[in-house]
Chains A and B, each alone.
Chain A
Amino acid sequence: MNTEILGVIFMYALVVALAIPLGRYIGKVFSYQNTWLDKIFNPIDKLFFKLSGINPEKEMNWKQHLVALLTINLVWFLVSMFTLMNMSWLPLNPDGNPSMSADLAFNTSVSFVTNTNLQHYSGETSLSYLGQLILMLWQFISAGTGIAIGAVVFVAMKERTTEKLGNFYSFFVRSCTRILFPLAMIGATILVLNGSPMTFKGKATTTTLEGATQQISRGPVAAFVIIKQLGTNGGGFYGPNSTNPMENPNYLTNIVETASIFLIPIAMIFAFRFVIRRKKLAWTIFGVMTTGFLLLVIPSIFSEMNGNPAIAHMGIQQNMGSMEGKEVRFGPAASAYWAVNTTCTSNGSVNAMHDSMMPITGMAALLGMMVNSFYGGVGVGFLNFYIFIIIAVFISGLMVGRTPEFLGKKIEAKEVKIAMIIALLHPFFILVGTALASYLYVGNPAEYAGWLNNPGYHGFSEMLYEFSSASANNGSGFEGLGDNTMFWNVSTGLVMLLARYLPIIGPVAIAGILAAKKYIPEGAGTLKTDTGTFGLMIFAVMFIVVALSFFPALALGQLAEYFTLY
C-alpha cells in the first residue's frame, strides 16, 4: 500500500490508541481520584494555590465559574497588550524586532487569549523572544481554560441535583499542570532531539553552497511548537507555522505534531465517559464525530493526491500530487490530513498552505470550522457538540411526542432558546463578517487591492475563510489575505472575542440550569440518547444547520472554483 496513505492511517490509529487511556486519566484528574503522577503534582498544585491565595476546595455554581473565567482572561489580555506593545525595549530581543501597533497587538492578544491564534504577523520578524514566551504562556493557559470549563460541564451532567460544580481554579490548574504540562514535556523532548531549535541565540548567518549569505531565524522553538499543537492553539513560532523545517523537521515530528492536534479533543470524550459513567453515550458521540471527520478527510486526501488539473494540463508529472504550498518530506496525503485535523478541532496550525490547496480540501477545511465540533477544540469542542445534543433532544422529543429529557433532566424552553442562539451565532458572525468585507472590497477595489492574493472565486474564499477561522477560534488562514490592516485586525478581533466567550457561557448556563433541576430516573417513556438512531439525529441537526447557513457562501467560493478547474 502507498506509504503516504499508510502514514495517515497510522497517525489516526495512534491517536485513538493513546486517547483512550489518556481520557481515563483526565477523567480521574477531574474526579479527584488518585493517579500515579500525584506524587509530583500534588505539591506543585498546592504551591500554585498557596501563592495565589486560592482555596481550591470552595465549590462554585455555574455563574461563579464564569465570573472567575472571564476575570482571569481579562488579566491575561491586559498583560498581553502591554508586552506586545513594548517588546522593543523589553529583554530577550536579540534580533532587535519592533513593538506591535495597537490594532495588531489587540488582534494578537485576543487571538492568543481566546485560544484562536489567528496570526496577522510573522513570528520571525515581529516578535522578540519575550513576546514568543508570553504567547507560549497563553497557549498553555488558554487551553487550560477550555479543558477546565469542559470539566465543569461534565461534572454538571452527573445524575444528581446540585448547584455546586467544583472549583474553577482547581480544574484550571489541574488541566495545565497534570494534563498539558507532562504531554508538552514529552513532545518537546522528541522535537528537540530531532533538530527543532531550542536556544536563546539570535539569527545564525551562514554561506550557502553557491556562496550567498543566508540568515536563519532560531529561538526557543521546540518548547513553543508542542504546546501550540496540544492545546488546539495553532499559533506558530514562524510565519508559515509547521511547514517551516525548524518547527517540523521530519516525518517523525510530523506524526508527533499531527497526533497532538487530536489527542486531547478525542481524550475528552473518554474523560466524559469516565466522569459520568455512560459508555454507550460516549461511543455514540465518538461515532458521530468520527463519521463527520472521515467524510471531510477522505475526499481531501484524494483530491490532493490527484494533483491540480490545471497543472496536469501543462503536461508534467504529478506522481506525488499537488505540491504548491507543500513540503516534500510530508507529501500531499499527510498535508491534507493535517488540514482537516486542524480545522475540525480549533487548532489552526498548518503543515502546508491551505490557500494553495485544491477546492475540495479548502471546502473541507471550511466545513470543519463551520461545524466546529467534530472533536473540536480542547474542552470547548465538546461544549459546541453539547449544544447540538440539546437541539437534537428537543427536536426528537417533538417528533415522538415525549417530554425532551437528557441524562435525567427535563429540557425546557429556556435551555433550548440558549442553545438555538448559540448555534446560530456562529453562522451569523461568519456570514455578516464576510458580507461586510465583500461589500467594502467591491465598493472600492483600488483601496483594498492589498487584501486579496487571488482573483475571482478564490479571493472570495480568502475572506470567508478568515471569518470562519476567527469565529471558530481556529486561527488557520488562507494566508494570501493581506490581513494586517485596521479593518481585519479589529473585525476579526471582535469576532474572536464574542465567538470564544458566548459559546462558553451558553453551554455552561444550560448545564448549570439542568444540574439544579430534579433528577428523573430513566423510565420506559424516556427517549434513549445513547443509540445509533439518536446519533443519526444529532448528525442530521448539524447537517441542517451547517448546510442551510453556509451552502450559498460555499457555492460562491470553493464550489465555483471546483467547477472552473474540473
Chain B
Amino acid sequence: MKKNIVPAIRLTLVSMVFFMGIYTLVILGIAQLAPNKGNGLTITQDGKTYYINVGQSINQDKYFWSRPSAVDYNAAGSGGSNKGPSNPEYLAEVQARIDTFLVHNPGINKADIPADLVTASGSGLDPHISVQAAKVQVKRIAEIRVLSEDTLLQLIQENTEKPLLSLFGTERINVLKLNLDLDKISNN
C-alpha cells in the first residue's frame, strides 16, 4: 500500500491533465468546426432564434401541438414521468389528455389519436411527433387558419423526416419546424 500510494497520486494527476484537460480541449477545438460551434443547433425566423433539437411546449389551437411533458419542457431540468404502465393515476392522466384533445378537435375519431400525443417523453423535451400525430390535428388547424386540409397535408409531407437512409429508425416530424413553416404560409 505504502509503495503504491505515491505513484497512484502522481498517475491520477497525469490522468487528470490528459483526460480532463487535453481530451476536452481537443473536442472543444473540433466543436469550433461544428454547426453553431457546439452551442446547440439553432434556426432563425422573423428575427427570432430557436433551438431545433429542444422541444417546446406548444398547445395553442392554431399550432400543431407538441407531446405532453412531465417537466413542462423545462430544458434546464429535463425528465420523464417515470409512471409505470399499470399505475391507475397515470392511466387517468392519459384518459384526461384524450378527453382534452377531443374537446379541442371536434369531429375527430378517438381511434385516430396516436399514443405519442397523449404520453410524455423520457426527456420531457421531445422535439418530434409522429406523422399521424400531425395528421390528426389538420382538421382543427385548417378551420382556425382558414386553409385547405390539402395544403396542410402537403406541409406535413414536406416536413416528414425519413428514417436514416430510409432504412433505419422511425418517421417523424419536428414540431417546431412544422409550425414555423405553417406561420410562413399563414400569418395568424
Partners in one complex: yes
Among A217, A249, A457, point to the contact of B76 (Cβ < 8 A): A217
Q: Please, which residue of chain A has its CB at the minimum distance from the CB of B15?
A: A141
A437 CB → nearest B CB, Å? 17
In the docked arrangement, what's the CA distance between A223 and B28, Å? Answer: 8
Q: Which 3 A-B pairs have the closest CB atoms?
A: A243-B122, A480-B82, A7-B168
Distance in Å: Cβ of A361 to nearest Cβ of chain B? 10
Whole-angstrom CA separation of A140 from B22 in the bound complex: 13
Inter-subunit contact B20/A53 (CB<8 Å): no
B136 CB to nearest chain A CB (Å): 9
Cross-chain contact of B130 among A48, A223, A250, A320 (Cβ < 8 A)? A320
The chain B residue with its CB closest to the CB of A350 is B122
A-B contact pairs, 13 of them (CB 8 A): A47-B14, A79-B12, A125-B76, A133-B24, A185-B26, A189-B27, A201-B39, A209-B56, A239-B77, A319-B115, A324-B83, A329-B169, A561-B86
Beyond A353-B122, A356-B82, 13 additional pairs, beta carbon < 8 A: A3-B171, A48-B18, A53-B6, A67-B1, A71-B5, A125-B77, A189-B30, A192-B27, A197-B38, A328-B130, A356-B84, A455-B89, A561-B84
Residue among A47, A206, A207 facing the most chain B CB atoms (10 A cut-off): A206
> A215, B85: Cβ atoms under 8 Å?
no
Write out the residue numbers on chain B whose beta carbons fall within 8 Å of the beta carbon of A327: 121-123, 126, 128
A253 to chain B, nearest CB (A): 10
Given A195-B40, A351-B122, A561-B86, are A240 and B80 neighbors across the interface (CB < 8 Å)? yes
**In the complex, A331→B95 CA distance in Å?**
22
From 48 to 92 in chain B, residues with beta carbon under 8 angstroms from any chain A beta carbon are: 48-60, 63, 67, 73-91
Segment touching B, from A148-156, A276-284, A310-318, A508-516:
A310-318
- Residues on A with beta carbons closer than 8 Å to the beta carbon of B63: 209-210
Give Cα A319–Cα B130 distance, bound, in whole angstroms. Answer: 10
- Cα(A53)–Cα(B9), bound, Å: 10
CA distance A328 to B30 in the complex (A): 29
B155: Cβ under 8 A from any A Cβ: no
B87 with A75: CB separation less than 8 A: no
Closest to A215 in B: B76
Q: CB-defined interface of B84-112 with A at 8 Å, one 1/0 digit per residue?
A: 11111111001100100000000000111
**A209 lies within 8 A of B122 (CB):** no
What residue in chain A is nearest B124 (Cβ atoms)? Answer: A240
A2 to B20 CA separation, bound complex (whole angstroms): 42
Report the Cα distance A4→B123, complex, angstroms. 20
Chain A, Cβ-Cβ closest to B29: A198
Q: Is the CB of A317 within 8 A of B27?
A: no
What is the 8 Å Cβ interface bit string for chain A, positions 435-469, against chain B (1 contact, 0 not)?
Answer: 00000000000000000011111100100000000
- B30's partner among A184, A188, A480 (CB-CB below 8 A) is A188
Does the CB pair A252–B164 fall under 8 Å? Answer: yes
Instruction: Say whether B27 contacts A480, CB under 8 Å.
Output: no
Chain A residues proximal to chain B, CB less than 8 Å? 3-4, 6-7, 10, 44, 47-48, 51-54, 67-68, 71-72, 74-76, 79, 122, 124-125, 133-134, 136-137, 140-141, 169, 173, 176-177, 181, 184-185, 188-189, 192-193, 195-201, 203-204, 206-210, 212, 214-218, 220, 222-223, 238-240, 243-246, 249-252, 254-255, 307-308, 310-311, 314-331, 334, 350-353, 355-359, 453-458, 461, 478-480, 561, 564-565
A317 & B112 in contact (Cβ 8 Å cutoff): yes
The answer, yes or no, to whether B179 is at the interface (CB within 8 Å) is yes
Q: In the complex the two chains form, what is the Cα distance from A188 to B129 in whole Å?
A: 27
Closest residue of chain A to B82, judged by CB?
Answer: A480
Taken together as a complex, chains A and B put the C-alpha atoms of A68 and B5 apart, in Å, by 8
A124 touches B170 (CB 8 A): no
Given the known interface contacts A7-B164, A206-B51, A252-B164, the answer about A216 and B75 at a Cβ–Cβ threshold of 8 Å is yes
- In the bound complex, residues from chain A placing their C-beta under 8 Å from that of B167 are 3, 6-7, 10
Cβ-closest chain B residue relative to A212: B57
| A72 and B26 in contact, given A206-B51, A316-B113, A319-B132 (Cβ under 8 angstroms) | no
- Selected contact of A311 from candidates B41, B54, B77, B94, CB within 8 Å: B94
- Taking a contact as CB atoms under 8 Å apart, the answer to whether B39 and A356 are in contact is no
With a CB–CB cut-off of 8 A, which chain B residues contact A188? Answer: 27, 30
A375 to chain B, nearest CB (A): 22
A538 CB → nearest B CB, Å: 34
Question: In chain A, what residue has the closest Cβ to B168?
Answer: A7
Query: How far is it, in angstroms, between the C-alpha of A189 and the C-alpha of B122 when the chains are bound?
Result: 25
On B, residues with C-beta under 8 Å from A are: 1, 4-16, 18-20, 23-24, 26-28, 30-31, 33-35, 37-41, 48-60, 63, 67, 73-91, 94-95, 98, 110-116, 118-130, 132, 163-164, 166-172, 176, 179-180
Is A245 within 8 A of B53, CB to CB? Answer: yes
Q: Is the CB of B73 within 8 A of A75?
A: no
What chain A residues lie within 8 Å of B23 (beta carbons)? 140, 181, 184-185, 223
Asked if B85 and A358 make an inter-chain contact with CB atoms under 8 angstroms apart, the answer reads yes
Shortest distance between the CB of B61 and any CB in chain A (Å):
11
**Docked-complex contact A245 and B54, CB < 8 angstroms:** yes
B118 with A355: CB separation less than 8 A: no
Minimum CB–CB distance from B14 to chain A (whole Å) comes to 5
In the complex, the answer to whether A209 meets B120 with C-beta atoms within 8 Å is: no
Min CB–CB distance B117 → chain A (angstroms): 8
Which residues does chain A contribute within 8 Å of B120, judged by CB atoms?
A: 324-325
**How distant is the Cα of A197 from the Cα of B91 in the complex, in angstroms?**
36
**Residue numbers in B under 8 Å from A479 (CB-CB):** 79-80, 82
CB-CB under 8 A from B168, the residues of chain A are: 3, 6-7, 10, 251, 255
Q: How far is the CB of A48 from chain B (nearest CB, A)?
A: 5
Q: Is there an interface contact between A4 and B35, defined as CB atoms closer than 8 Å? A: no
- With most chain A CB atoms within 10 A of its CB, the pick from B12, B23, B52, B91 is B23
B27's contact among A220, A238, A322, A455, by CB below 8 Å, is which? A220
Determine which residue in B48, B67, B122 has the highest number of CB atoms from chain A within 10 A of its CB, and name it: B122
**Do A76 and B12 touch across chains, with their CB atoms under 8 A apart?**
yes
CB neighbours of B132 from chain A (8 A): 317, 319
CB distance from A312 to the nearest CB of B (A): 9
* Shortest Cβ gap from A332 to chain B (Å): 9
- A327–B170 alpha-carbon span in the complex (Å): 10
With the chains together, A206 CA to B4 CA distance in Å? 51
Task: Provide the residues of chain B in CB contact with A67, threshold 8 Å.
Answer: 1, 4
